[in-house]
Amino acid sequence: MAVTSSWILDVFILFAIASFLLYKYSTRKFNYWKKRRIYNPKPLPFLGNFLDVLLLRCTLTEWFKNMYDSVNEPYFGIFVFDEPFLVIKSPELIKNITIKDFSYFMDRAVALPTHNKIQSQVLFFQKSPEWKNDRVRLSPNFSSGKMKRMFPVISDISQNLVRYLDEHQEEVKVREVVGKYLTDITAKCFLGINSRCFDDYEAIFYKMAKDVFNLGLRNSIMQTMYLFKPNWVSLFHLDFAKKIHCDIFSEAVSISMRERTNRNVNKSDYVDILGNLNFPELNIDKATEKITGQLFQFFLAGYETTSTTIAVTLHELSLNPDIQNKLRKEILISIDENRGITYEAIQNMKYLRMCVTEVLRKYPIIPFLSRTCNEDYKVPGTNVVIEKGMSVLLPSYSVQMDKKYFPEPTKYNPDRFLNIYSNENGLCYLPFGAGPRNCIGERFALLVTKMALCYILSEYEIQTCDPAPMESISTYVLLSKIGSRIRFKKITTKST
């Protein structure tokens, strides 16, 4: 039905009405923080405070750091699109949320893809009480005893890494080399499969792991939706990883489990470990889905997070030859005293711990943590109430790069961790998260990282071909804009 005698005017009026309604809808929550007397930067219609990220003016990590530095409050509100989020700056409050008052903040504020049988079983996505039940079952399997059992496997693959570097001492992209190393380790430890990445550049598991975390448009959109628009994940059935990757991995797990059953063998890897948990409350199909989902997480997380940590450590050591030489000296003395690289020796190397700890401060794998408030929570010492359902963001990268807590934060300085950091006055250092929901694979990641450094530095001097500092970007994990090309120079005379 025409409104006026001119169809052009009718279209204009309808467009104006539609625009006004969309504007009102997109700004309907924009008084949320004002009503609660919590500071928030002025948001834009439709975009909230997210414009700079969407226009690629800065990375997600840089965006959080810029927001963090611009606000002198213990917490502040932001809007991502039209959704309110509370950002916590106070280390004391971060500690309360993750540890002391964890019962109010048990779940991560990320989507749970219930439409996907495999990805919905990933521990990182799970909600309570299922998360709590699975975490209790899984935690003993990442004990120091279990890591010691994995040591010979990791040691063998570390020797393959050295052999590969012997053949490729020219300039290499260290990110690719350690990516192959971690694919071989995770495939063997978690699936009992020899992926042979050092023999075949196109190894299927290596390609799959790289693709899940590549920087393409599809992955960036999916990861943004999982963190900031979880309702859309459920509505549109969005998958964090592509279906082909889940299919490949599910088939690999099925083959591995059938082989063990048919041949009655036990490889003492995580297929056996999880299989022995039984999950008696589930039927066989549901139990298989749960095992596959957990293995899928361990494989992908083990690959991406640890390979990134090793790569940035090598990069920093190549830029700081004095630190590199000091660390090499400690490694060579330990090898001489222990007649090789042993599990106990790695745990006792103090300067090695300091070097890795400092890397994880400067380059935390996940640059921010998220929690959902599951019950109204009054912030201690204030009248502010974090309401049930509110998503809370904990900017770990920004805190760890705050000069108030770590002087000269851009400087790589292992000596700042001469003593083990205690976090007693609040959480200022949390590269693996904190509290009951911390990273379950922390011991595994640290062991693999330290072993790679021991094997590499005992055999090679590393020289950078990219003298510029690492520029970080982030989706769910911290990545680098450069591949960090490094030259590995064989050490002919090993002196301690």
Note the pLDDT tens digit of each residue in 461-474.
Answer: 998 876 665 555 55
C-alpha to C-alpha distance for 160 and 418, rounded to whole angstroms: 32
Q: Which H helix or E strand runs over 4?
A: none
173 exposed, middle or buried (CB, 10 Å; 0-12, 13-18, 19+)? middle
> Which 8-state DSSP code applies to residue 107?
B
**pTM, entire model:** 0.92
pLDDT band (50, 70, 90) for residue 75:
very high
By DSSP bridging, strand 172-173 and strand 385-386 are unpaired
Q: Which residue has the higher pLDDT, 199 or 4?
A: 199
pLDDT band (50, 70, 90) for residue 483:
low
Integer CA distances (angstroms), 171 to 162, 167, 231, 479, in order: 15, 11, 46, 21
**448 pLDDT exceeds 80?**
yes
pLDDT value, residue 476: 53
Q: Which residue has the higher pLDDT, 324 or 212?
A: 324
Average pLDDT, integer, range 287-310: 87
pLDDT value, residue 301: 84
C-alpha to C-alpha distance for 324 and 327, rounded to whole angstroms: 5
Written in H, E and C, the secondary structure of 420-447 is CCCCCCCCCCCECECHHHCCCCHHHHHH
Listed in order, strand segments (DSSP E) in 268-345 are: none
Is the domain defined by 90-490 classed in CATH 1.10.630.10?
yes
442 exposed, middle or buried (CB, 10 Å; 0-12, 13-18, 19+)? middle
Q: Which residue has the higher pLDDT, 43 or 199?
A: 43
pLDDT value, residue 496: 61
pLDDT band (50, 70, 90) for residue 272:
confident
339: left (phi over 0), alpha (psi -120 to 50) or beta: left
Confirm if 308 and 480 have CB atoms less than 8 A apart: yes
Helices vs. strands in the chain: H and E counts, helices first:
19, 11
| Residue 13, amino acid | I
pLDDT band (50, 70, 90) for residue 56:
confident
**55 pLDDT exceeds 70?**
yes
What percent of the chain is helix, strand and coil (3-state, nearest 5)?
55, 10, 35
pLDDT tens digits, one per residue of 385-442: 999 999 999 999 999 999 999 999 999 999 999 988 877 789 999 999 999 999 999 9
pLDDT value, residue 39: 96
DSSP of 201-270: TT-HHHHHHHHHT---HHHHHHHHHHHH-HHHHHHHT--SS-HHHHHHHHHHHHHHHHHHHHHT----SH
pLDDT tens digits, one per residue of 185-209: 998 988 888 888 988 666 788 888 8
pLDDT value, residue 327: 98
Q: Tokens 């928030």 appear where?
A: 40
pLDDT value, residue 79: 96
Radius of gyration of the chain (CA): 24
**49 pLDDT exceeds 60?**
yes
b/e map of 270-301 (b: 16 or more CB within 10 Å)?
A: bbebbbebebeeeeeeebbbbbbbbbbbbbbb
pLDDT band (50, 70, 90) for residue 2:
low
pLDDT band (50, 70, 90) for residue 163:
very high
pLDDT tens digits, one per residue of 103-114: 999 999 999 999
Confirm if 359 and 365 have CB atoms less than 8 A apart: no
Average pLDDT, integer, range 286-292: 85
**182 pLDDT exceeds 80?**
yes
Average pLDDT, the chain: 88
Confirm if 89 and 426 have CB atoms less than 8 A apart: no
pLDDT value, residue 478: 59
Confirm if 164 and 158 have CB atoms less than 8 A apart: no
pLDDT value, residue 365: 82
